[in-house]
Amino acid sequence: MKKTLLAVAIPTLLIANAANAYELINEEGKFVDFYGQLRTQVEKEENKDVTLNAGSSRGGVDAKYAVNDSLDVIGKVEFSLGFKEDAYDITNRLHFAGFATQAGTFTFGRQLISTDDVWGADYSYFFGGTGIGQTSEKLSGGKHDSAIKYKFEGENFWVSSTFGLSEDDTNAELGELYVGTTVAGFNLHVGGGYYNDKSYKIDSYTVAQDAAGNDLKTDIIADIDSTYFEGTVERTFGPATVGFTYNNGSFDQNNTDTKRSIDVDSYMLAASYSVASNASIYGGYEYSNFDAKKGTQDLSDDYTVIYLGGVYHLNSWSRVYAEYGYADGATIGYDNDKANIDVARGVKDAENSFAVGYRVYW
């Protein structure tokens, strides 16, 4: 339930990935399908070699059974597919079950958080989403292992909320609420949440070496508190779509001798234009400002990302895209689960990046 307008404004047939799923069962009151997507991406970052990777490929099984006219039992299991250390790697990505009623859908288990569902004005396939990635996504990775989720879609509004159980501090505690509506052709949504992790790994250091000379390290664990807010407005004008998102996130590290905190304000402006029924071009500008405090020391910096790209749908089950990204400034680092990005904290000095990708859906 990605409630923002899609990055590529083309007919529903071309963007409905589920339409290509293989139906294992499709009978009255019973539906099970096997779905997935294979992603291949070639990437070139400044001062680095060209890389070829699986680009967050995935596959899964989605099921729905009707109990009666007003109650369905639902479930999903999904796996990430790729290569790790020269071997094929399959890891669990999602695993949840629940039920759907006229009052909304309730699901329980390992699933995407509401922030990842809702997202914002990011129409990129790779380099965008920095504002969202630097708030909740950086900490959570876009998922929670023990989540209770509620979604409701009415005629004129929708609601998405997630509560993540800490389970004796083995997980982070999470709470989120987003609401959206359409007014005079504008799609609007606002929301936010909080995140508390008492076992968040922020770093590690070497304490000794073993007999073979290997470093023996210990993790630096922090108690992290975070709150975040996001608001998005989007509008479609014929073949063009324009969107704007504002994000604010604050982070506090509580269990260290020196008090540390970061406040992030991010602005994301994006647009896409359909040049044909199966092809679009898109671009975006994203700016983030950081105000950090370490004890009595105050620090401030900013980070800018610009991306331009295009996507061509060969048919209803495959697409190819190319994208350019520009990054400049200092960043605390960010994750983008949708594009499989993990950017480490550091400084980008007017760096240029390129990516070409191909996706096949079933």
For residue 361, is pLDDT > 80? yes
In the chain, DSSP finds a helix count (H) and a strand count (E) of 4, 20
Token readout for 203 is 């770093």
**β-pair partners for 343:** 334
User: Where are the strands (E) in 114-214, listed by range?
Assistant: 143-153, 157-164, 173-183, 186-209
* Cβ proximity of 195 and 224 under 8 Å: yes
Confidence of residue 164 (pLDDT cuts 50, 70, 90): very high
For residue 21, is pLDDT > 70? no
Q: How far apart are CA 339 and CA 267, in angstroms?
A: 19
Q: How far apart are CA 212 and CA 63, in angstroms?
A: 51
pLDDT at 6: 35
pLDDT at 12: 33
Token readout for 304 is 């800018």
Q: How far apart are CA 166 and CA 349, in angstroms?
A: 39
* Cβ proximity of 322 and 359 under 8 Å: no
The pTM of the full predicted model, rounded to 2 decimals, is: 0.86
Query: According to the CATH classification, is domain 12-361 in 1.10.1060.10?
Result: no
Confidence of residue 321 (pLDDT cuts 50, 70, 90): very high
For residue 3, is pLDDT > 60? no
pLDDT at 177: 98
Q: Per residue in 98-149, pLDDT tens?
A: 999 999 999 999 999 999 999 999 999 999 988 887 766 667 778 999 999 9
Task: Delimit the domains of the chain by residue range.
Answer: 12-361
